[in-house]
Amino acid sequence: MNKMILATVASTALALSAPSAQAQSAEITIGISISTTGPAAALGVPERNALEFVPKEIAGVPLKVIVLDDGGDPTSATTNARRFVTESKADIIVGSSTTPPTIAISNVANEAGIPHISLAPFPVTPERTKWSVVLPQPVPIMGKVLYEHMKAHNIKTVGYIGYSDSYGDLWFDDFKRQGVPMGLTLVDEERFARPDTSVAGQVLKLVAANPDAILIGASGTAAGLPQSSLRERGYKGLIYQTHGAASMDFIRIAGPAAEGVIMASGPVMNPEGQSDSALTRKPGLTLNSAYEAKYGPNTRSQFAGHAFDAFEVLKRVVPAALKSAKPGTPEFREAIRQAFMSEHEIAATQGVYNWTEKDRSGLDDRSRIILTVKDGKYVPAM
């Protein structure tokens, strides 16, 4: 019996039937904290939607999935994670949708000794290394393909505008670490907050600096704000977006300004364009066909892919863990943690995972593609 319980913290919907006492004793409990409201809802809603297409059980063991909304707020994410630990006795914690609340969840998971699967890129510091693994592509992998595109198109000067938080820092630091040694020169850095409704001042400074290209370090629909503002102010150069913006909502929000954007993305956005031998092709087609059958053509989402992939990973690691321990025990949680490293070539929509104790992203170049927008649709970039 599968049970998905969407409990209410800030705003959540959908609660399915409560489990029987007999089922509880043999369930795997998965706590998921995502941002289905607030500035990151464009990420969290498709993540929640994708849960409709994940397994009801793994290796014959029912899954009890509890979904809470954190609104993109680290404090709410911390509260949710602690509820998973103390009330739900979760075997696995998943989330969140963006970097700041993900850091908060990782801190709790690592304190409590519970396997944590991140749906957002975040800095995995030593204190977060043991129990956390990351599904989204690490910034260095995605950044490199953007900087290589810049070099191939004779870009020499770059302006940067990004979030004034850890996600913006990740991309700014990566540009300095990888882009600058490749010969790219930073001419201006601007920041904005996720809830901001205007970036007029920052955009005026960027346009005045007149760089050959501008890199936007933002995610979800908020990434469309500087994109449209730059075009409205007459900027004619190339604009680059990160994989945090790879969704149809970005095109909807940015409108005509989205045309010609260069965007790093996971392969889930174009599995049809992959070779038959690509391990990401089959899961990508499976998710997108189910998702678009329910939510309409061109509704596929990189973020839906991450949520779906969490269960693709669990389909591999749970059977391995069940060989040595039972759900609901510290031994099972440790077995899951060990299985993250012992299982190799875990194929999912967004990449092929090979985690190690030191590499908590476990991805390689198979996890990235580069797209542009043409006539309101994503197509491979040249």
CA angle 19, 24, 28 (to 5 degrees): 105
Residue labelled with tokens 């901001």: 196
Q: For residue 292, how many other CB atoms are within 10 A of its CB?
A: 13
Whole-number pLDDT of residue 126? 86
Position 101, amino acid: P
Tokens describing residue 132: 């956390």
Q: Are 49 and 6 a contacting pair, CB within 8 Å?
A: no
Whole-number pLDDT of residue 5? 60
Tokens describing residue 200: 């007029």
| Beta-sheet pairing, 213-217 with 3-6 | unpaired
Q: Are 203 and 226 a contacting pair, CB within 8 Å?
A: yes
Task: Name the β-bridge partners of 374.
Answer: 377
Residue 217 three-state SS: strand
CATH 3.40.50.2300 is the classification of domain 139-265 = yes
Whole-number pLDDT of residue 248? 87
C-alpha to C-alpha distance for 115 and 94, rounded to whole angstroms: 8
Query: Could you tell me how far CA 170 lies from the centroid of its own chain?
Result: 14
Give the residue among 90, 111, 91, 39 at the shortest CA–CA distance from 69: 39
pLDDT, tens digit, for every residue of 198-239? 999 999 999 999 999 999 999 988 999 999 999 999 999 999
Residue labelled with tokens 């929509």: 349
Task: Name the β-bridge partners of 370.
Answer: 264
Q: What is the DSSP letter of 175?
A: I
Residue labelled with tokens 């102010």: 233
Mean pLDDT of the chain: 92
Whole-number pLDDT of residue 260? 97
pTM of the shown model: 0.85
C-alpha to C-alpha distance for 298 and 289, rounded to whole angstroms: 10
pLDDT, tens digit, for every residue of 95-141? 999 999 999 999 999 999 999 999 998 888 888 889 999 999 999 99
Q: At a CB cut-off of 8 Å and minimum separation 6, what does 337 contact?
A: 115, 130, 131
Residue labelled with tokens 């004034």: 164
C-alpha to C-alpha distance for 207 and 214, rounded to whole angstroms: 10
Torsion of CA 81, 87, 92, 94, to 10 degrees: -30
Whole-number pLDDT of residue 43? 92
C-alpha to C-alpha distance for 233 and 155, rounded to whole angstroms: 21
Tokens describing residue 8: 């209410």
Q: What is the DSSP letter of 323?
A: T
pLDDT tens track of the chain, all 382 residues?
Answer: 455 665 434 333 333 333 433 333 489 999 999 999 998 898 999 999 999 999 999 999 999 999 999 999 999 999 999 999 999 999 999 999 999 999 999 999 999 999 999 999 888 888 888 999 999 999 999 999 999 999 999 999 999 999 999 999 999 999 999 999 999 999 999 999 999 999 999 999 999 999 999 999 999 889 999 999 999 999 999 999 999 998 888 999 999 999 999 999 999 999 999 999 999 999 999 999 999 999 999 899 999 999 999 999 999 999 999 999 999 999 999 999 999 999 999 999 999 999 999 999 999 999 999 999 999 999 999 8
C-alpha to C-alpha distance for 15 and 18, rounded to whole angstroms: 8
C-alpha to C-alpha distance for 230 and 257, rounded to whole angstroms: 8
Tokens describing residue 33: 């904290």
What residues does CATH 3.40.50.2300 cover in the chain?
Answer: 3-137+286-364, 139-265
C-alpha to C-alpha distance for 254 and 226, rounded to whole angstroms: 9
C-alpha to C-alpha distance for 68 and 115, rounded to whole angstroms: 17
C-alpha to C-alpha distance for 211 and 150, rounded to whole angstroms: 12
Fold of 3-137+286-364: Rossmann fold (3.40.50)
